[in-house]
A and B are shown apart, each in its own frame.
Chain A
Amino acid sequence: MGGDTIAAISSAAADSGIGIVRISGPDSFAVIDRIYRSKNGDRKLSREKSHTIHYGYIEDDGDVIDEVLVMIMRGPGTFTAEDTVEIDCHGGVCAMRRILETVIKKGARLAQPGEFTKRAFLNGRIDLSQAEAVMDVIQAKNEYALKNSVSQLKGSVRKEVSELRERILYHIAYIEAALDDPEHISLDGYGEEMAGEISQMQEKILRLISTADDGRILKEGIRTVIVGRPNAGKSSVLNTLLGEERAIVTEIAGTTRDTLEETINLNGITLIITDTAGIRETENVVEKIGIGKARKKLEDADLVLYVVDSSEKLDENDAAIVRMLRTKKAIVLLNKSDRKTVTTREMIEELIRNGNGAAEEKNDSQCSGALPKEEKESIGKSPEKPEMKSSRREETAYPVLSISALKGTGIDLLEDKLKEMFYQGKLSMDNEVCITNMRHKELLAEAKESLEKVQEGIALGMPEDFLTIDLTEACRALGDITGETSSEEVVNEIFGKFCLGK
């Protein structure tokens, strides 16, 4: 198969303090040897026995990034049937991201959507009967990644990357046009002419890379969705949050009327809040249509605010919502604390425990494609670590807060909880966003490197047709960020911009 070594974050960043970076492929051990240091600094993990766990540090050229547990697994007894390394880290999202970056720098490649699953399948680790589910996962993950990659890109960044790419494309087309029709178009001195502009491009890319570091390349903020039964007080919660005149940054109308987005800044934490008004109209068919619609929104969310009317009994709609929350970071708001309490904190906690557990069995067969979580959860369990799953289930407890949106009480509790979660690193932009961000950064770095090679070529006086090799690489890398790639593009550009022919 592919033959190269891939890596990705394979646990939801928001799930817990522990994150897993997974590496798979023939160079997995070589990569870990380059970045792992044991306590006394003398152990090479590639020499260790298979299926063993090791305590130590991950370093990037001498800088310690995090304290970790590393699991070494030799193929074929692994999920992908390839040599696999899993790095468990506790340093939160940032550390996890840096570890992944280091892994990539040291020889692995960022996995494509669904790639672990694909490898597991092609290497015979997943039953043939699950082929369709595998294909669904690839498609779902791809759509999800695409959506993230393009929609998450800030307009200004997108524009800048696009413009850079267009200029590179122009130079490629110019050179190619001249090579195709040397009697019409001359290349004399073109390299030197281009060198100046390319250094400007290099600077721009460097600036973009530095913005990628602090996540500014993507739409910032914690994507938050408010869900709940009709009349539970979702809108009141939203209005209360907004009504206190906390800095409202923007108000964006979504593509449909029922996805109104509000950006709220709570003590420096930015939330992009979506009210799921849609559930209201589809109340009676919540199980059928509504779940799909709400799930779509939930997929994107980093945080779910689940509003429960404490003055009414829980019903099957609540059960359905709880099932959808399964893999999400959520806060339960027990609203209407000013009225007579029918539903207590214990009752909702009980529902969550049962709902999550019950949902797990069902979800394996039915919903694996819909929620593009890391494949281990969605299809075929990793045979080596059954204990991971059960421990995770125990941890899926959500904070339950008693509030009254009407009276405005308890809102401060919500703010405190948000702050607490955020600063403990439990709450952040979701996994895919940070991976998307990292993918962008990696691609920018590739583009930068290619442009450096172009400069070297110019300095060495290489013929122009060699320069296009690296220009084309730079163009491809930038195109992968903005989603613009077509094999016919250069040809189109040649015909569009240059006049040639008999």
Chain B
Amino acid sequence: MKRVEEWTDVVVVGAGHAGCEAALASARLGMETVLFTVSVDSIAMMPCNPNIGGSSKGHLVREVDALGGEMGKNIDRTFIQSKILNRSKGPAVHSLRAQADKAEYSRSMRKVLQKTEHLKIRQMEVTELIVEDGTLTGVRTYSGAVYHCRACILCTGTYLKARCIYGDVSTYTGPNGLQAANYLTDSLKANGVKMYRFKTGTPARIDSRSIDYSKMQEQKGDERVVPFSFETDPDTVQIPQVSCWLTYTNEETHRIIRENLDRSPLYSGMIEGTGPRYCPSIEDKVVKFADKDRHQVFIEPEGVHTSEMYVGGMSSSLPEDVQLAMYRSVPGLEHADIVRNAYAIEYDCIDARQLELSLEFRDIHGLFSAGQFNGSSGYEEAAAQGIIAGINAARKIQGKEPLILDRSEAYIGVLIDDLVTKENHEPYRMMTSRAEYRLLLRQDNADLRLTSKGYEVGLISEERYQRLLEKQREIQEETERVKNTWIGTGQKVQEFLRAHESTELRSSVRLSELICRPELSYQKLCEIDADRKELPDNIQEQVNINIKYEGYLLRQIRQVEQFKKMEERKIPQNLDYDKVPSLRTEARQKLKESRPASIGQASRIAGVSPADVSILMVYLHSNRKV
């Protein structure tokens, strides 16, 4: 029988948040790219929460943008509410979060993909990998077509052997009833890939017309919206925003849940996958935090063209009747009509320790992967891996070194290093506490950290790069000026200080010293800083942070220097750990599983002690010279 046979550079499997970034990066770098999806109508779909960003996830979006990715721009085009979280905390943990119009987000991303040169979209399930002598050479589809390629990026999300469950009802589908991908797992296993089975879940969607908002607290967006993308003009995002609503569960809700726990597939053993601790179902919360008499529930719009509302905080896999009773026990939801049931979803993913830091499989050359397939969770985590996988697939074909961001350069670096280094038993979520050098990895300086890398890679235009250099220059000049500007003890100054409840001056001080006072800032000191030139907000912010937190920043910079030294000590990938004497058995085992690229990475593996690391260093040193 005749079959379609095609040739391309890169195949991307899956068009979720990872797949979109991967395909865009690859195509924008000039690679002929084919993006496979089970449904073109579901490109960049948001099957769970209707927002982008949030603590540490907002950082990832900014970093993707700084490298030349699309997520930030796309949410700027389609958000319906936006907020900066943790505004009263330090600059390192300020984080942007926007509510998305889900349908618009998806449509807008599809438009971008369809306008991108070198990128083709194909609705078809990929069922088999074609691997020859440890190198990927193509993929086969359900229809039998063969696409020969030089690299392939797997971004299958939650679709591999997916199964959705609530109560005793289960369907063998992906999220939202979409077709699951049932064959690729077998092909992966046949090629020696180690698979895990993870679980996650989502709450019900409720018809807005059935909700009594008068019993809830309104949650508005910020008055002045800050865009995600460094490329978006702030003036273009000052739009009318919609509200979210806050309500609470109560004893009655908890009673209903407790009395029906035996009907939950999680407790009856029907679900075998490992669920995430950070995103517990409401039944998990009630069991685990039995002393809490109420839990927050956020009612969030799914978009402006739908009446569906997302019930944040109440994901569940309880039976339909229990769901209805439980939601209706919440103030404001007494007459709630469910549009879509809550459900848990199980899916196949990989043990990501089989990947290198470039996101290429160690043992299958040319095969890359990103997103939930790698054991992460979240749209932003997926997009972050997607752009790196896309870049590195292209660079591999071009014969260039992969782009690897380390833990001191980006949250993306922390994310990927954690995924490929550490043993992971649940979907991995980004958290600011995972970033050791978070004072340096702020969302406000993502462009300063990464845009020049995006430029080198080829995803950032010359024009944007020049703007970055100009910004860097201005920040530096102004920081210097502030350090060398003296403020005298004149009447105007003393009045200013009194007005801000700040101690008056006895003698002249540098402007930078005043910025360091907790009650003052660079911005506030404008009044008594005569020579100041007018600078954009983002530059003022950088100057303020540089001066105000200089001590802390220097401390982290020194720590990073130490860190870098260990990262630079590379471990050959073909090192036979069985030949390294004196290693403890546990360490040997863990090292074999993770195959760290450097001494630094080795030291982060649980079960590898500092002494084991010393031994490794001595061993490598002696072998290098031989």
Contact = CB atoms under 8 A, between A and B. Distances in A.
Nearest to A2: B565
Interface residues of B, number: 55
Given A135-B618, A180-B56, A501-B280, A465 B89 contact: yes
Nearest to A145: B611
B295 interface: yes
Contacts of A114: 611, 614
A141 B582 CA distance: 12
B618 A494 contact: no
B582 A463 contact: no
Classify the secondary structure of A's interface with B.
helix
A182 B278 contact: no
B581 A135 contact: yes
A461 interface: yes
Interface in B356-412: none
Nearest to B280: A501
Nearest to A122: B621
Interface in A458-490: 460-466, 468-469, 486-488, 490
Contacts of A131: 618-619, 621-622
A204 interface: no
A487 B603 CA distance: 11
Interface string B288-329: 110010011010000000000000110100000000000000
B433 A490 contact: yes
A462 B298 CA distance: 30
B279 interface: yes
A114 to B, nearest CB: 7
Contact of B315 (A134, A486, A502): A502
Interface in B258-296: 276-280, 285, 288-289, 292, 295-296
Contacts of B625: 128
Contact of B312 (A115, A118, A499, A502): A502
A46 to B, nearest CB: 24
A141 B278 CA distance: 40
B487 interface: no
A141 B288 CA distance: 43
Contacts of A466: 90, 552
Interface in A398-439: none
A382 interface: no
Contacts of A462: 90, 518
A487 B626 contact: no
A52 B218 CA distance: 79
Contact of B621 (A112, A121, A132, A142): A121
A179 B296 CA distance: 16
B289 A501 contact: no
A209 interface: no
Given A118-B617, A138-B615, A495-B278, A128 B90 contact: no
Contacts of B611: 112-114, 138-139, 141-143
Contacts of A142: 609-611, 614
B574 interface: no
A371 to B, nearest CB: 16
A469 B92 CA distance: 12
* Residue of B48, B85, B89, B552 most packed against chain A (CB within 10 A): B89
Contacts of B85: 182-183
A139 B615 contact: yes
A179 B581 contact: no
B582 A139 contact: yes
Contact of B86 (A132, A179, A500, A502): A179
Given A118-B617, A180-B433, A465-B89, A128 B622 contact: yes
A197 interface: no
A176 B432 contact: yes
* Residue of A469, A499, A502 most packed against chain B (CB within 10 A): A502
Interface of B: 48-49, 55-56, 85-86, 88-90, 92-93, 203, 276-280, 285, 288-289, 292, 295-296, 298, 312-313, 315, 422, 431-434, 438-439, 518, 552, 565, 580-582, 584, 604, 606, 609-611, 614-615, 617-619, 621-622, 625-626
The 4 closest A-B pairs by CB, nearest first: A142-B611, A131-B622, A495-B277, A463-B90
22 contacts: A113-B611, A118-B614, A122-B617, A128-B622, A138-B611, A138-B614, A142-B610, A179-B93, A179-B433, A183-B298, A465-B92, A465-B93, A466-B552, A491-B431, A491-B433, A491-B434, A494-B278, A494-B433, A495-B278, A499-B280, A499-B288, A499-B292
Given A179-B86, A179-B89, 15 more contacts: A112-B614, A121-B618, A121-B622, A136-B581, A138-B618, A139-B584, A172-B433, A180-B55, A180-B432, A184-B296, A465-B93, A465-B432, A468-B433, A488-B422, A491-B431
